[in-house]
Amino acid sequence: MMGGARTSIAEQIAATKAGTDVEPSKRTVQPRQPSGPSQPSQATRSRQGEEETGRLLSQLPPGMTVFVPPGSADPAERLSYCEGAILEADRQTELATERITQQYLLWVGEPYRIVRDEELFRLAGYPTFDAWGKALNGRSGDYMNKVIRVGPVVHALAPITRRQLKEDPLRPLVSVQRDHGDDAVRECWKAAEAAGELTKRGLLAAAIKCGYRVTLEPAAPATPTRPRLEPSSVLNVSKLRRLGATDPTQALALCRTLREDLDRLERDLAQAHPAEGEGEGDDA
């Protein structure tokens, strides 16, 4: 470092220029200019981009920055400088994660709602919204319904906060948005923020204080997990083995009878519950 003036990592990152922010005469890579009629028009490229991203209107990513090495030769200062760079990177990454999480909710909420409400998942060959979501990207119906429910609230809060927004704490604001609109949601959020209580309880208290009646929709009931039975708990194979040691002929006859009975039972179950029958076969 020179001249005794020290610059923080955040200031150096903010001062770092990239891409078209750099003066044309100092750029190491010049932007490529269109040449000849073979270049597609801007409108054509825009249409192609919309099709490739599923009609998502995207923006160019911000300019990337790189680490600027310390200018000091003093080991202690170099250590302090590097530690500061790492902590600043952690902070910036956390902020970016919060922003992209919020943006993700804004992107997928409406597509999820359309597929669910119009039952478009059936066109893809799935009997339920849940089955479609799990096959598409591993998302359960419960998760997708939460995203749909909280979507309007996230949309209302997007202009005023970059916090990572999650479904459960925002539940008190769902009915506020539905009954009173986006401005009411922002009013409740600011009241809870001023009280330092941006939690589910804090947002509920803020909504009541602001004069809004809150209706908490019950969370979707958890699907009970059926215990997985082992064959040995249904059929006593060990007993058949012991019988085979003393009377193999009788044991073999019993095995064949059991196999016939099981085949018949399997056919009956598959006819009565075709969807479950296919699912069990897939799991195996």
What pLDDT shows up at residue 101? 79
What pLDDT shows up at residue 222? 46
Closest to 133 in 3D by CA, of 119, 117, 112, 148: 112
Asked if residue 160 lies in contact with residue 190, where contact means CB atoms within 8 angstroms, the answer is yes
* Residue 254 domain-assigned (yes or no): no
What pLDDT shows up at residue 274? 58
Residue numbers of the domain that contains 152: 100-209
Q: How many structural domains compose the chain?
A: 1
Answer with the residue of higher pLDDT: 240 or 62: 240
Which contacts of 210-216 are long-range, i.e. CB under 8 A and separated by 24 or more positions? 210/184, 212/176, 212/179, 212/180, 212/184, 212/188, 213/175, 213/179, 214/172, 214/175, 214/176, 215/175, 216/171, 216/172, 216/175
Tokens of 100: 């992209």
Q: How do residues 196-227 score in pLDDT, each as one tens digit?
A: 888 889 999 999 999 998 887 655 444 444 55
What pLDDT shows up at residue 228? 57
| Least confident interval from 85-89, 112-116, 279-283 | 279-283
What pLDDT shows up at residue 238? 78
Res 69 pLDDT > 50: yes
Span 141-153, average pLDDT: 89
> How far is the C-alpha of 122 from the C-alpha of 136, rounded, in Å?
13
Q: How do residues 165-201 score in pLDDT, each as one tens digit?
A: 777 888 889 989 999 999 999 999 999 999 888 888 9
* Residue 230 domain-assigned (yes or no): no
Answer with the residue of higher pLDDT: 55 or 162: 162
* Residue 67 domain-assigned (yes or no): no
Summary mean pLDDT of the chain? 75
Tell the burial category of 128 from Cβ atoms under 10 Å away from its Cβ (0-12, 13-18, 19+).
middle
Give the number of other CB atoms < 10 A from CB of residue 114: 11
* Residue 16 domain-assigned (yes or no): no
What pLDDT shows up at residue 273? 66
| Least confident interval from 92-106, 223-237, 248-262 | 223-237
What pLDDT shows up at residue 105? 84
* Residue 162 domain-assigned (yes or no): yes
* Residue 265 domain-assigned (yes or no): no
User: The whole model's pTM is what?
Assistant: 0.49
* Residue 178 domain-assigned (yes or no): yes
What pLDDT shows up at residue 96? 83
* Residue 156 domain-assigned (yes or no): yes
What pLDDT shows up at residue 284? 37
Which of 14-18, 100-104, 108-112 is predicted most confidently?
A: 108-112
What pLDDT shows up at residue 115? 94
Tell the burial category of 170 from Cβ atoms under 10 Å away from its Cβ (0-12, 13-18, 19+).
buried
What pLDDT shows up at residue 187? 94
- pLDDT above 70 covers what percent of the chain? 67
